[in-house]
Structure 1
């Protein structure tokens, strides 16, 4: 009996999570337009992510070899052999070396923050809205890490009392937000059943979900989040079978508000994406222990110091070692990233993220919203519907003329 009581106490402690229930959604952010065909363009962000992100390859349980000292020194790097190879990486070291590259991230951030000024967000469909908030969240994280890099351990930086998640760092459409406000006050408040959203929230450290090589869009949202969930759950940074216990990421503990009955709900969730041969291990485990944490920044080699030198520890070698199975050598990736700064232009804040045929609609929508208030829904008319509407308007006008006569 006392063992069950201890388990219950543990799960209650594990289920503590952040909330932003006091955040009030602006009117223009409430609801959505299900049949809206308006989309946001992320071509600039796609280019940057494709150049700056290295994929870690298929999910794997393989551990890293223990660190060893190089010739002529007793010093060696410390890292978690269970998790160090998991998750995609960003070339933060290149952003640090070349500030003009980091400036591109800042410009994209400013452009995304301006989108709610250009358009009432509720005129977008649900998937487009979620994709927008995920992209803004992730760009802010990258931009803020650029400011403190090469900081290696991000625990205090991310979760501290005045850390990355709690500070009002974002100004979206004139509204000051923290990253927690985006996650809990916007996304979870509007879409409480969309658990997969947590896998789109990149937080900069190995123990968080991966950054993608492309931006989220309404079209790729479901597929991308499912891919990220599968990747996270089937690598050691997300879960790890361990006999009578089944270890899971502390990330789940910090997001326990998505799992009201923490142990039962999380078990059911994990079964949806866990490798089929490991599901029996989860079923047999008596407890879930949320103790897997790796707060190491997701860079490539910048925070791995080169003790003693050696041919295998230069930047290119380390880059190539991480990107095993990649079709593009590391040196080309770095060259592409350098090219990024001179080729990617930040989008204009004046409807720059929308196609030309959407601009007029957005302007009319904004005018109606400002002058009439309330929620505005934009619907594309077919040619037949437009003709019928014009005919009805013409006949109505003729009838009014007769009455005036």
Structure 2
């Protein structure tokens, strides 16, 4: 019988959850409407992600070949051969070359930040709320990386004392939040048992969960998070069997609050998604070693220089999976800035993320919320409509008496 051991490969302070533990949820964010039919539209975000995200393919344990110098130079690229091929990528290069594209991302961010001012979030279902927070979190990450790209190593940028995760970068309906506040103060506080949420939090570097080619929604949430968990756990950036030890991502160390009895709980979690032939390797390993980290930005080619003017020599690298230059997948859609801008503009209008028939109901919900001391009693739009008809009928009966 194995004994549960865990080795932290660094002295990273596990304070991210504690730092956000004092965050107080606004009343309008507490709870959810289980049967709510309200949905948020993310067609603009879908357009951007579908255009800018490149899928890395099925999970694989294949390592990259080590970088070698090209003719006429002794210089070569430095990357982690274990993890460099893993995870989806974003064309940050295109955002850098075309500032108007980066501006579109900023507009989507601002539009999402305005949603909590338009509707009490607790009038949404649980899945719809989680999808909203994941989308907002991920858009903020992309927007902030656009500002510092082509920075290659994101460790200090992400985890530094005043880094991406801890700064109050988000204004959600007038409430100032950090990304850690979203993860720990909102999502984990409300849904402490939903560990899959961590796989929806894209943080911009290879060692974090992948960005998707589409926005999260209440309808696709479970399927998408399970897909991301499977992808992360079965690629080398998430886990790596290594004899008597089983290497895991430092990402799990930084999310230890989701695994109270860390080694035991993490083993149990990994077994749910690990490929079947590797489960015995996990069970037999005496020690979990949290030492897999790759802080490289998830771009396509911008931070991988070609020294000596030669072409890339790493035939196992991610670039080999995609066409390069202007023929790269998605470039046609990305270049269509007019369509993208008009789509975003449509969402920038008040209540632009909701269908026309929902707008009036949302305004009523907001009015009720503001005039009942923050208590929202409507839990289902269909039910609310039926109640109105019943009340109207009763009034007609009274007037006829």
Q: TM-score, normalised to structure 1's length?
A: 0.91
- 1: distance between equivalents of 2:97 and 2:9? 44
Tell me which residue corresponds to 1:333: 330
- 1: distance between equivalents of 2:257 and 2:10? 12
CA-CA distance at 1:311 after TM superposition: 4.4
1:53-202 matches, cutoff 5 A? 53-202=53-202
CA-CA distance at 1:390 after TM superposition: 2.7
SS at match of 1:308: helix
CA-CA distance at 1:393 after TM superposition: 2.6
- 2: distance between equivalents of 1:51 and 1:296? 22
Tell me which residue corresponds to 1:379: 380
Tell me which residue corresponds to 1:391: 393
CA-CA distance at 1:32 after TM superposition: 0.5
Structure 1 residues 349, 186: CA separation in 2 closer, same or farther (over 3 Å shift)? farther
- 2: distance between equivalents of 1:208 and 1:341? 32
- 2: distance between equivalents of 1:266 and 1:389? 53
- 2: distance between equivalents of 1:247 and 1:225? 22
CA-CA distance at 1:291 after TM superposition: 0.4
Structure 1 residues 293, 384: CA separation in 2 closer, same or farther (over 3 Å shift)? closer
- 2: distance between equivalents of 1:10 and 1:93? 34
CA-CA distance at 1:18 after TM superposition: 1.9
- Determine which of 12, 16, 25 is the counterpart of 2:14: 16
Tell me which residue corresponds to 1:211: 211
Moved more, 231-240 or 370-379: 370-379
- 1: distance between equivalents of 2:281 and 2:252? 19
Tell me which residue corresponds to 2:322: 323
Which 5+ residue runs of structure 1 have no aligned equivalent? 400-405
- 2: distance between equivalents of 1:49 and 1:302? 18
Tell me which residue corresponds to 2:266: 266
- 2: distance between equivalents of 1:8 and 1:73? 43
- 2: distance between equivalents of 1:11 and 1:48? 37
CA-CA distance at 1:369 after TM superposition: 1.3
Is the contact made by 1:63 and 1:85 (CA closer than 8 Å) also made in structure 2?
A: yes
- 2: distance between equivalents of 1:13 and 1:254? 11
CA-CA distance at 1:392 after TM superposition: 2.0
CA-CA distance at 1:349 after TM superposition: 3.7
Moved more, 152-161 or 343-352: 343-352
CA-CA distance at 1:11 after TM superposition: 9.8
Q: CA RMSD in A?
A: 2.6
Deviations 1:271-293 (A, max 9, x none): 00000000000000001010000
Structure 1 residues 64, 312: CA separation in 2 closer, same or farther (over 3 Å shift)? closer
Structure 1 residues 187, 230: CA separation in 2 closer, same or farther (over 3 Å shift)? same
SS at match of 1:248: strand
Deviations 1:183-216 (A, max 9, x none): 0000000000000000000000000000000000
Is the contact made by 2:6 and 2:287 (CA closer than 8 Å) also made in structure 1?
A: no
Structure 1 residues 13, 307: CA separation in 2 closer, same or farther (over 3 Å shift)? closer
Which 5+ residue runs of structure 2 have no aligned equivalent? none
CA-CA distance at 1:372 after TM superposition: 2.1
Matched, 1:34 2:34: yes
Structure 1 residues 368, 239: CA separation in 2 closer, same or farther (over 3 Å shift)? same
SS at match of 2:288: strand
Tell me which residue corresponds to 1:402: none
Structure 1 residues 282, 339: CA separation in 2 closer, same or farther (over 3 Å shift)? same
Tell me which residue corresponds to 1:344: 341
Is the contact made by 2:7 and 2:289 (CA closer than 8 Å) also made in structure 1?
A: no
Deviations 1:350-386 (A, max 9, x none): 0000000000001111111112223222533478766
- 2: distance between equivalents of 1:272 and 1:95? 37
Q: TM-score, normalised to structure 2's length?
A: 0.92
- 2: distance between equivalents of 1:259 and 1:98? 42
Moved more, 292-301 or 367-376: 367-376
CA-CA distance at 1:118 after TM superposition: 0.5
- 2: distance between equivalents of 1:312 and 1:293? 24
